[in-house]
Amino acid sequence: MSKLSIRAVSKVFAGATTAVDNVSLEVADGELVCLLGPSGSGKSTLLRMVGGFEQPTSGTIAIDDQDVTRLPPEKRPTGMVFQSHALWSHMNVFNNLAFGLKLRGRPKDEIRDRVEAVLELVGLKGYGGRMTNALSGGQQQRVALARSLILEPKILLLDEPFASLDQHLRERLREEVRDIQLRLKITTLFVTHGQDEALSMADRVVVMRNGATEQADRPEVIYRDPQTPFVAGFIGTMNFIEGRVEKGRFLHADVAVDLPVDDGPITLAVRPEALDLQPSGTGRATIHRVTDFGTHGLVDLHLSDGVRVKSLVRSPEPFRSGQTVDLNPRAFAAFRDNIKLYRTADAH
Ligand SMILES: Nc1ncnc2c1ncn2[C@@H]1O[C@H](COP(=O)(O)OP(=O)(O)O)[C@@H](O)[C@H]1O
Ligand SMILES: [Mg+2]
């Protein structure tokens, strides 16, 4: 039973970069939380503070209610896997894994059994005698993961562990890591800038921007009900249409729809799958390109104010480039001044 509590943690580097800005986050026992955000948003700095590799400027970090904020990495019940594996290339796999246990003075038999068990867990049974530089990139990352797990940390920390691997391998490894994490029920904080990775692995996703938490929610909520325009635009494809509300109606040269909010400027956010099209002689939105993906079509459009939007259609048949259309947003959210004012009852 291990939970992680990050309370009002900030990190200001010399030169006054605020890398992490007052972040609070609870990771429950056995939960896998992904920190997702663009490069430079403070994900690694936050993770490194949990691991003890950076000191917070302010705030506290607790594991199972024990304050670990001032403890060095080796005194913390955490295990960290980095993007570049940093295995010892002059040792074989067995010795890479046994190293931490030897340091702790564990008996030989126990070390052998635990190395075997962890190799099996990460799918590398029988690889103990291999030199690490004779392993593929994916196998090396498995060893790096095993090296953390063998010490039975309460909290597992992963910083873009698959970033250097190709797409196919990345997808496989993230499934494997998720399986292992679920089997061990190990509380995990996982850093990624890949939305697919976050949405497919996480119990909860924390979207970070400029060192701060933008939204923390279950993956499907992050996708269906983004709370800010940044989250809306960062996860999946989103169309943003700028207009005004007057007397309960959103108005734009090409789009009009009922919207029960106060008068004023509004950004309408519509997913491509929720933007319906109708061929029209009077519409001014113009189709730029139609792509047929077999299972569906994707229509690229230019609105009359020059904004480009996308619509996902069941069949691309009725549409062709140069045609004018009417746009009907079936489901949408509405933002003003960075705040969500409205969302249609059901997005799908
Ligand atoms: N050791 C450091 N010294 C100074 N600035 C740093 C240091 N580490 C990170 N930063 C800065 O902190 C910000 C967040 O970086 P980082 O946590 O690595 O972001 P991410 O992992 O989301 O890409 C960036 O502006 C980065 O340049
Ligand atoms: Mg990083």
Q: Which residue has the tokens 């983004």?
A: 226
In b/e form, how buried is each residue of 123-133, taking b as 16+ CB within 10 angstroms? bbeebbebebe
In this model, does residue 348 exceed pLDDT 80? Answer: no
Mean pLDDT of 332-345: 94
Residue 242 has pLDDT above 50, yes or no: yes
pLDDT value of residue 21: 97
pLDDT > 50? residue 22: yes
pLDDT digits (tens, 9 = 90+) for 105-114: 999 999 999 9
The percentage of the chain sitting over the pLDDT mark of 70, rounded to a whole number, equals 99
Range of the domain at 12: 4-231
Closest approach atom of ligand 1 to CA 20: 14
Q: Are residues 104 and 26 in the same domain?
A: yes
Ligand with smallest separation from the Cα of 41: 1
Average pLDDT over residues 36-54: 97
In a domain, 129, yes or no: yes
What is the dihedral sign for C-alpha 227, 231, 233, 235? negative
* 190 vs 159: CA distance, rounded Å: 6
Over range 90-108, report the average pLDDT: 92
**CA dist., res. 111 & res. 82, Å (int):** 24
Residue 280, pLDDT above cutoff 90: no
176 and 286 housed in the same domain: no
Mean pLDDT score, 98-111: 92
Sorting pLDDT into bands at 50, 70 and 90, what band is 85? low
Atom of ligand 1 nearest to the CA of 41: 22
Mutate to test the pocket of ligand 1, among 10, 11, 13, 39 (most ligand atoms within 8 A of CB): 13
Q: Tell the residue nearest (CA) to atom 17 of ligand 1.
A: 42
pLDDT at 282: 83
Same domain, 56 and 189: yes
For the CA of 14, the closest atom of ligand 1 is: 4
Q: Residues 303, 330: one domain?
A: yes
Q: Which of 36, 45, 190, 234 to mutate for ligand 1's pocket (most ligand atoms within 8 Å of CB)?
A: 45
pLDDT band for position 344 (cuts 50, 70, 90): very high
Which pLDDT score is estimated for 31? 98
How far does residue 220's CA lie from ligand 2's centre (Å)?
24
Residue that finishes a domain, picked among 215, 231, 247: 231
- Does a structural domain hold residue 67? yes
Mean local confidence (pLDDT), 237-252: 96
| pLDDT over 90, % of the chain | 82
271 in a domain, yes or no?
yes
Domain count, the chain: 2
For residues 220-233, give the mean pLDDT. 94
Question: Which of 205, 231, 257 is at the close of a domain?
Answer: 231
Q: For tokens 């325009």, what's the residue?
A: 229
For helices 167-184 and 137-149, what crossing angle results, to 10°? 20
CATH number of the domain that residue 194 is part of: 3.40.50.300
Q: How far is the CA of 87 from the centre of ligand 1 (A)?
A: 24
Quick one: 284 and 220 in the same domain? no
Let me know if residue 89 belongs to a domain.
yes
Q: Which of 211, 231, 251 is the last residue before a domain boundary?
A: 231
148 and 246 housed in the same domain = no
How do strand 256-258 and strand 249-251 relate by DSSP bridges?
Answer: antiparallel
Q: Distance (Å, rounded) from C-alpha 70 to C-alpha 54?
A: 10
Please indicate, yes or no, whether residues 15 and 92 belong to a single structural domain of this protein: yes
DSSP 8-state assignment for residue 8: E
Residue 51 pLDDT level (bands cut at 50, 70, 90): very high
Mean pLDDT of the chain: 93
What pLDDT does 169 receive? 87
What confidence tens digit (pLDDT) does each residue in 142-188 have?
A: 999 999 999 999 999 999 988 888 888 889 889 999 999 999 999 99
Of residues 197, 196, 219, the one with CA closest to residue 206:
219
Residue 252 Cα to ligand 2 midpoint, Å, equals: 40
